[in-house]
Chains A and B, each alone.
Chain A
């Protein structure tokens, strides 16, 4: 069974493959510059699924509603090949000063969603944050070119409000020319492509695990 092989390979990591309970936990982290929409992604997902499955989002924020430590949303997606698959969605605080905290939250990550801010004024912040992601992954000997990764170009809804946005082509060139990861234009506030982003990263992560063992 593919999951048993996965357990054998990852037997050191017993925390998230529990043979006895037949449970697998997968950690997905939403990364990106501050105020880019990471928390909004999770809030949308939480709102959408809460009437179908029992889940509770934990958010550790500042008084000003900025993420201070992380947001956490556990999702049980039911049985896949006889194993209960539990997805743990995390966000990190985006502000530059919380680098140590971001590193902490990235520990044990299986897949990453990079939420880029489409606003023109945030161009540099996106690139700095992506570089920061690469560096922080490296501290755990993970390679940004190899880890399951999806890019999300968020805040596309602001265009109709007259706020200057970077065209998708520019964002692709700046952020994705080497990575060549799947990407989505999105609007977390209205929910556009939030679910798609999440489905893609979960699929990628689980598929990658499966392929790794073949």
Chain B
């Protein structure tokens, strides 16, 4: 048994003994192949003294990253809701980012309907919620068939809505402008969806919009209007758009039920 100068047993021998206990009786081992003189000495006594190279663990994760992206305009960044009425809506919108399911979309629609009622005295906010609900209904119906822009639009509407509600020093005009921006995006998405439908065989044909609505008013026309005029116009536009959407959705649902 190898001893240190102070008489204590070496670590190696202690380990050897411990491992022998683990394995029971030592196995009978053939001649040690590592030594040309085949003296049969225990390998421990013939160990090469190899200095260990310590690993420089710098804690950097090479294979997974946990940091979320620092998007300048992300829903996660705006967390100053406190006792805001939007708190629950926000959690739903965030959960939709992770999972689009019957449950999450139903939650979104119910909450937007509820909030539209809460804010019914403020037309701008009411319309925001109506817009959000409309997009939500579209995604809920279409699911994987939704246009990818619908999800982006949903997040955009929510962010804009949150800002207009949280930033209390925003004027009514500024809020309306923010709404108009989202309405414009909504129209653009609708145009894209219509284009996609006409270029591929689909259940729905493009419905003709109710007359009286200024369907093809150029953006420049809106810009020339007074804010209140523009808002009224946009309001009519949204109403028309929503009516058309619902009509289309109803028709699709009917066809789907007939097909069942």
Contacts and interface: CB of A to CB of B under 8 A. Distances in A.
- Give the contact-size bracket for chain B: 35 or more
Contacts of A95: none
B191 interface: no
Interface residues on A, range: 35 or more
A151 B16 CA distance: 18
Contacts of A48: 22-24
A192 B27 contact: yes
A78 B18 contact: yes
Given A200-B44, A208-B49, A12 B23 contact: no
B15 interface: yes
Contacts of A146: 50-53
Interface in A190-205: 191-193, 195-196, 198-200, 202-205
Contact of A148 (B19, B50, B56): B50
B11 A80 contact: yes
Contacts of A196: 27, 29, 43
Interface string A1-25: 0100000011011010000000000
B212 to A, nearest CB: 65
A77 B15 CA distance: 8
Given A200-B44, A204-B50, A108 B34 contact: no
A182 B43 contact: yes
B52 A184 contact: no
A95 to B, nearest CB: 20
The 10 closest A-B pairs by CB, nearest first: A183-B34, A199-B19, A203-B12, A208-B52, A182-B34, A207-B12, A195-B23, A182-B43, A142-B53, A200-B43
